[in-house]
Structure formats: structure tokens, C-alpha cells
Amino acid sequence: MILWEEESLNDREKIFEFLYDFNPEAADKTDDIIEAKVENLLVQPQMGGQREGIRGRLLIISEISMIVFFWIEDDIIRIMRVLHQKQKFPMD
């Protein structure tokens, strides 16, 4: 099961709104890609890597320059954040 935490949903909304102002089609496509890549975690939950100093795992979506930070708890995949690769991940 995938659980989108509130912060990750807010991230997706901000990304969508930012892109929509320039190109609504790109906004839709980007959100679809994020959704599809995260859904892949249901089949391969250990996909992605780890980064020193950051709890959990990360999934790099290179075609849209995004990183999805997630935790695995039993059979739940918790999506914590969705950030552009150039954004600094908050350490709190």
C-alpha cells in the first residue's frame, strides 16, 4: 500500500501549479510520471537508494529531475516528500 503523506501531496501540488502556469500539458505529464514511478514501488519497494544523513530511501526520477523520499514500514510505503533534484532536502 502506498500512503502519500500530507507534505508529499503539498509538494506535488506546488510542482503542478508551477508547471501549469507555463505549460498545462507538461504539468499533467509530470504528475502522471511521478504517480507511475511511485506505483512501481509496489512491485519493487527496495528500488531507489539511500543518502547519508537522510532517513528512509529515495527514488530518483531522472526524466523530470525529481526525487521522491519514502519510508517502508511493514507493507506500507510512506511517500514523505517529492522535490526537484536541485532543492535541498529539509533535515528535520
pTM of the model: 0.87
Q: Would residue 9 count as lying in a domain? A: yes
Q: Would residue 71 count as lying in a domain? A: yes
- pLDDT(89) > 70: no
Q: Would residue 92 count as lying in a domain? A: no
Dihedral angle of Cα 49, 63, 9, 78, to the nearest 10 degrees:
-20
Q: The domain containing residue 75 runs over which residues? A: 2-84
Number of domains making up the chain: 1
79 — pLDDT class (breaks 50, 70, 90):
very high
Residue 32's CATH number: 3.30.2310.20
Q: Would residue 66 count as lying in a domain? A: yes
Per-residue model confidence as pLDDT tens digits over 18-73:
999 999 999 999 999 999 999 999 999 888 777 776 778 999 999 999 999 999 99
Q: Would residue 34 count as lying in a domain? A: yes
Alpha carbon distances (Å) from 60 to 22, 23, 33: 24, 23, 12
Instruction: Give the gyration radius of the chain's Cα atoms.
Output: 13
Q: Would residue 54 count as lying in a domain? A: yes
Q: Would residue 46 count as lying in a domain? A: yes
